[in-house]
Amino acid sequence: MSEPLFDPSLKKKKKKAVAFTEDPLGADADPTTPAPDSIEDLTADGKRVDLGPSTAHEQMMSKDKEEDEFKSMFGDVKKKKKKKDIPMDLDAADSGTSTPTTAAPAGGEDLDFSDLKKKKKGSKKKAAFDLEAFEKELHESKGEDDDEVDTSHLDNLDEGELGDDPFATADGGSGDAPGSGEQAWLSSDRDYTHQELLTRFYSLLHAANPSLLSTSSGKRYTIAPPSIHREGNKRSVFANVTEICKKMHRQPEHVIQFLFSEMGTTGSVDGAGRLVIKGRFQQKQVENVLRRYIVEYVTCKTCKSPDTLLTKENRIFFMSCESCGSRRSVNAIKSGFQAQVGKRSKNKTG
């Protein structure tokens, strides 16, 4: 997923994080599997792939995602991250219940781990909450499974006598019977269904190369956190502003202009390329502003890719996406009302 994320580990080993490539599974899965459009979508978004088989769950997931994005537009970005993790886990568990894959539960754990690494603080609470929420979702999803799996269930009955009861697997929790789902058609001489083949393909794929499971973390858009020091009593120094601008492919002037107008201050760039901001600011605050910059001026609104270019034509900025080719104009940076702060005698106009 392409949400802007400040990875603290990036500071130390920047090169490693940058070197991650495109999701290899999305490319691989294309020729082998016939037409799982929805699965491709998932991989393009950097989501986990093994959620593939059940389409209804994908729909649920995309709905979740949309909601989250909607929230993120207005709400706090921090809040979004916390919320986003939970439904993803739930969905992972869901897919495990409806279509038993060996990979699904492992993937869920994997995701959790990468998350724990980033936020050590809330890990315990979150884990407990996850379990609780998972159970709740399980009960809810049972009802949905009833209507969704029904058709495939009937199909199975038509094609051969198969004891693959969707309800039983739903009760059994996440993927405790991966063997029975596959061996059932291996042993009998009935035709296999598309679902089964797909499940088999993904389980084999993930068994062969488990590194694919953790691609979602590699796809994340990460930027080194801004390093803010206090200079004197009233000024803050943003040291790695040029680095961050380079990472975002934006002109430092543009970023600085945005920072100043959002934070309602002024400042200057010193000889070493550091930004000196008037006023006391903490790293977290600058991070929040940068996040907003990324949402507004870096990520493509169509495909959420951060791989965009900003060009100026006739005094209007246009953002063109490198990965999907979309082009849109972005708002000019406007600084609003500036209240009189400090002594009036220093201000010539006042």
The DSSP element (H or E) to which 107 belongs, if any, is: helix 103-118
Q: What is the CA radius of gyration of the chain?
A: 25
| Residue 279 near another protein by CB under 8 A | yes
Given the complex with another protein, which of 183 and 335 has the nearer CB atom? 335
Query: To the nearest whole angstrom, how small is the minimum distance from the Cβ of residue 314 to another protein?
Result: 15
Q: Does 24 bind another protein (CB under 8 A)?
A: no
Contacts of 281 (CB under 8 A, 6+ apart): 228, 236, 263
Comparison of 20 and 70: residue with beta carbon closer to another protein: 70
Cβ neighbourhood burial of 48 (10 Å; 0-12, 13-18, 19+)? buried
Considering the rule CB under 8 A, would residue 338 count as an interface residue with another protein?
A: yes
Interaction of residue 264 with another protein, rule CB under 8 A: yes
State which of residues 337, 344, 346, 350 lies at the interface with another protein (CB under 8 A). 337
Interacting stretch for another protein, rule CB under 8 A, among 37-45, 123-131, 300-308, 336-344?
336-344
- Residue 262 lies near another protein (rule: CB under 8 A): yes
What's the order of all strands across the beta sheet hosting 327-329?
308-313, 316-321, 327-329
Measure the CA–CA gap between 6 and 220, rounded to whole angstroms.
10
**Least separation, in Å, of the C-beta of 91 and another protein?**
27
Residues numbered 287-306 forming contacts with another protein, rule: CB under 8 A: 288-289
Please identify, among the stretches 39-47, 182-190, 256-264, 306-314, the one whose residues bind another protein according to the rule CB under 8 A: 256-264
**For the chain, first and last CA: distance in Å?**
49
| 3-class SS of residue 171 | helix
Whichever of 124 and 280 has its CB closer to another protein, that residue is 280
How far apart, in Å, are the Cα atoms of 180 and each of 55, 150, 183, 287, 335?
A: 21, 19, 5, 50, 64
- Does 342 interact with another protein (rule: CB under 8 A)? yes
Look up residue 260 and give its amino acid. Answer: F
Q: Does 280 bind another protein (CB under 8 A)?
A: yes
Binding site for another protein (CB under 8 A): 74, 234, 261-265, 279-281, 285-286, 288-289, 331, 334, 336-339, 341-342
